[in-house]
Structure 1
Amino acid sequence: MNPKGRALEDSPESFFARFQEHAQEVHLFPEPWGSPLLEVLVAGQVVYAFDRGAPPAPAGRVRALLHGVVREAGPLRRDPFLEREGAAYRLGGRTRPLGEGFYLLEGPIPLLLHAETPLSEGAEVLLWPPLMLFRE
């Protein structure tokens, strides 16, 4: 669900199938016992993402899609970056519109975004927690 209450996906499987061309190879660290959050190594960065795949999550290299919902957005004022703010992420980079409010952020990590308002070609965004991971 997005913050306005509308579903962005029918199911994790259909969401992954819809955007699979933007999936990338990531490394998943072993799943902490009982935790839905995974440690994900992507493009040399470690992020924490809510696992949307069927349990149990595999460890090692998998093809996955990282997805975030934009809480705040503005123009990019510095080089592409990724920062954690509590449970949320703030990041910036070049964006490519995919339609229906979806964008591909080509920043320090490739990330599928959904924004209620249009994003500029270079954008800085604060995401609603959690960052989500969809996998094959």
Structure 2
Amino acid sequence: MAPVEESPETFFARFREHAVLAHLFPEPWGSPLLEALAEGVLVYAFDRGAPPAPTGPTRVLLHGVVAEARPLEGAPFLERKKDRYRLGGEAVPLGEGFYLLKAPLPVVVHAEAPLPPKAEVLLHPPLMLFRE
């Protein structure tokens, strides 16, 4: 599988328009995971920014790689299952295997196979967080 990004900075720049304002909580000492509250949803994501991570309001872009996908039956959702996220919503193609998944929180996902217009996906761990 080819890499889906060149660098955290170029990835954020490429998908900047899909970033959301999130509140970042203090980073646990030694942990690569950040706790972020965005659009009323709390997520834990691998920090792809340069250390140290800021706290407070920050524009972030969430990204995941699709492990499994199927058509969405029902309303958009986002749930955490141990170290993975399952989410569903409208899948807007962004090109080159990337989609904006409009779940309760927008997430840019990469899928090897085309996603249906309304998709439910299980992401490979970890969910990644890019920040300005």
TM class, shorter-chain normalised?
Answer: over 0.9
In structure 2, the residue matched to 1:94 is: 90
- 1:59 pairs with 2:52: no
SS of aligned partner of 1:30: coil
Aligned counterparts, 1:7-26, within 5 A: 7-26=3-22
Q: 2:121 aligns with which of 120, 125, 134?
A: 125
Q: Distance in 1 between matches of 2:65 and 2:30?
A: 25
Q: 2:64 aligns with which of 58, 61, 68?
A: 68
Report the alpha carbon displacement of residue 35 of structure 1 after superposing the two structures with TM: 0.3
Query: Cα deviation per residue 1:11-45 (whole Å; 9 max; x = unaligned)?
Result: 10111111111111111000000100000101111
Q: Distance in 2 between matches of 1:73 and 1:8?
A: 18
Sequence identity percentage: 68
In structure 2, the residue matched to 1:49 is: 45
Unaligned runs of 5+ in 2: none
- 1:32 pairs with 2:36: no
SS of aligned partner of 2:126: strand
SS of aligned partner of 1:129: coil
Q: Distance in 1 between matches of 2:87 and 2:43?
A: 12
- TM superposition score normalised by structure 2: 0.98
Runs of 4+ in structure 1 off by over 6 angstroms are none
Q: Distance in 1 between matches of 2:26 and 2:82?
A: 22
Report the alpha carbon displacement of residue 92 of structure 1 after superposing the two structures with TM: 0.4
Report the alpha carbon displacement of residue 134 of structure 1 after superposing the two structures with TM: 0.4
Q: Distance in 1 between matches of 2:76 and 2:10?
A: 30
- TM superposition score normalised by structure 1: 0.95
Query: Cα deviation per residue 1:60-82 (whole Å; 9 max; x = unaligned)?
Result: 00011000000000000111111
Report the alpha carbon displacement of residue 59 of structure 1 after superposing the two structures with TM: 0.4
